[in-house]
Structure 1
Amino acid sequence: MSKSSTRIALVTGASRGLGRNTALKLAQQGVDLILTYKDSESDAHEVVRQIEALGRRAVALRLDMADSRSFGAFADCVKSVLAQSWQREQFDYLVNNAGIGFQASFADTTEEQFDLLFNIHLKGTFFLTQKLLPLLKDGGRIVNTSSGLARFTFPGYAAYATMKGGIEVLTRYLAKELGSRGITVNTIAPGAIETDFGGGMVRDNPQVNAHLSSVTALGRVGLPDDVGGAIAALLSEGNNWVTGQRIEVSGGMML
């Protein structure tokens, strides 16, 4: 496959968790990767090594999703990487995955916590996508990451879920406004997943894991493979007519 016909995906927050799994699943489908990390440079380069072992090309770039002022310089860096590594001016897929999570009741959530969630999840996704639009090819695809918590409720996630609700609205607007370029935009909304997200509570607390499994139709909590595989499937060749949709990947939680 020539470099001009190679598909390239940019996945934010891909040094660990769902982003890492998504990047590896895409590489297995023959997609090259630009992946971002914030702190875990060694982990990011390990993902690059694993992608290269699958026969694909990958580059890791640092990005702080909370610092929207850095997005212009980041877009310039992506442009340079595309030219140097692929002799290309644009990439094909943008997966807005990077995020953080913590549990705090509505009454105890601080303004600083709220602002951090807002800056990373909602403002960050909004303006990073805006800065990268000139580098996303016509006919490309965007996948935004929401959460099952935007549909069902558990105490302690009011601020986090509010941001994810905003992501779902943003997805519909992007699908409408970018449709003229043939760009599809969809939301993936994971349910409870065994990762280190939010301190690894779902993975490491047997009582929490058992309770969430009991309210899930398929009888268990999710694994990174469940979500990474769903995103890779959404970005596969047969899904070019799906846009503006919220696709929950939760095994049927809280039905």
Structure 2
Amino acid sequence: MAKLTGRTALVTGASRGIGRATAIRLAQEGALIAVHYGHDETSARETVDAIEKDGGRAFTVRAELDVPGDVDVLFQSLEQGLAEHVGATTLDILVNNAGISEKGEPGTFSGEQFDRLFAVNARAPFLVLQRALPNLADNGRVINISSALTRLAKPDEVLYAMTKGAVEQLTLHYAKHLAPRGITVNTVAPGITDNGSAVFSMPAVVEQMARYSAFNGVARAEDVAHVVAFAASDEARWVTGAFLDASGGSLLG
């Protein structure tokens, strides 16, 4: 039997990249997946189609994560979808993956850019987890996707790194808060990962990016999804509040 049979999972930002790979991987282990997307319904449907083609179960939920009331909209759709599929609104696994990034000269970022990145990357995971508390099953799993950039200095991505530092604090404090219920809360931190963007089709650029990894390569989204699947499994029941480095050794120096 698959390790997550009978479980339910919400993966935010699951229409592409690490989110899509994670949704597919958790579905392969038997979980019913709520595939969240913000704007690209076609890509979200492609994630669902890939899951169903593989014999899994999934449905889409839409919510923008940078506008007031977005989290309530998300959970209205989530609870409706869960009720239709399993007759209950219990959530076993939450993966806070949705995020955006911007690069620029450190001295040129605007207040609007700051607000938008923090709204999607930090505010939303906080509010999603907070709203999920009544739904989360005892012995459930919360996985927050961060970044190796919280351990490296890359000035042109300072705002993105700051938001992910906030996510890691969310992990730390909620791991302590939810431990009495047996719920684990962990951070998975990818490094450079092929998310399907055009830049990953440029060999010279990929070769340069690969130098950050101890393996001299660029991760596939599936590589990170395997780490998330471990954190979501029963085998990870004694791991909480952890920073799981999924950067391919980018932090080794």
Q: What TM bracket, shorter-length normalisation? A: over 0.9
Measured against aligned partners, the alpha-carbon deviations of 1:160-208 in whole angstroms (never above 9, x if no partner) come to: 0001011111100010111121110000000011114xx654x144444
Tell me by how many angstroms 1:112 deviates.
Answer: 1.0
After superposition, the CA RMSD in angstroms is 1.6
Range 203-212 or range 103-112, more displaced:
203-212
Q: Note the C-alpha offset of 1:84.
A: 1.4
Secondary structure of 1:232's counterpart equals helix
Aligned to 2:42: 42
1:61 CA displacement: 0.8
d(CA) in 1 for partners of 2:169, 2:115: 19
Distance in 1, matches of 2:228 and 2:241, equals 15
User: Secondary structure, in 3 states, of the residue corresponding to 1:134?
Assistant: coil
Q: Which residue of 1 aligns with 2:164?
A: 164
Give 2:106's aligned amino acid. Answer: F
Tell me the distance in 1 between the aligned counterparts of 2:198 and 2:16: 12
Kept in 2, the 8 Å contact 1:68–1:124? The answer is no
AA partner of residue 79 (structure 1): E
Aligned 8 A contact 1:68 1:128 in 2: no
Q: What is aligned with 2:239?
A: 242
Partner SS, residue 98 of structure 1:
coil
1:121, 1:13 → 2: CA distance?
A: 11
Give yes or no for contact 2:63–2:73 (8 Å, CA) kept in 1: no
Partner deviation per Cα, 1:91-148 (whole Å, 9 max, x = no partner): 1100000111121121111111111100000011101111121111111010001000
Alignment correspondent of 2:210: 213
How far 1:48 moved relative to its partner?
A: 0.9
Runs of 4+ in structure 1 deviating by more than 4 angstroms, as ranges, are none
TM-aligned CA deviation for residue 76 of structure 1: 2.5
**Identity among equivalent pairs (%):** 39
The 5-angstrom pairing of residues 89-238 of structure 1 reads 89-196=89-196, 200-201=198-199, 203-238=200-235
Query: Which runs of 5 or more structure 2 residues have no equivalent in the other structure?
Result: none
Deviation digits for residues 198-241 of structure 1 (CA, Å, limit 9, x no counterpart): x654x144444222322321111111111111111221221111
Residue 77 of structure 2: aligned partner? 77
d(CA) in 1 for partners of 2:91, 2:69: 22
Give the Cα separation in 1 of the matches to 2:198 and 2:225.
Answer: 18
Asked whether 1:7 is paired with 2:7, we answer yes
CA change 1:84–1:75 in 2 (3 A) is: same
Query: Hey, what's the Cα distance between the residues in 1 that align with 2:68 and 2:86?
Result: 26
The question of whether the paired residues in 1 share the 8 Å contact of 2:62 and 2:77 is answered with no
Could you tell me the TM-score, scaled by structure 2's length?
0.93
Query: 1:68: Cα distance to partner?
Result: 4.3
What TM-score do the two structures reach when normalised by structure 1? 0.93
- 8 A contact 1:144–1:167 mirrored in 2: yes
Deviation of residue 70 (structure 1)? 2.3
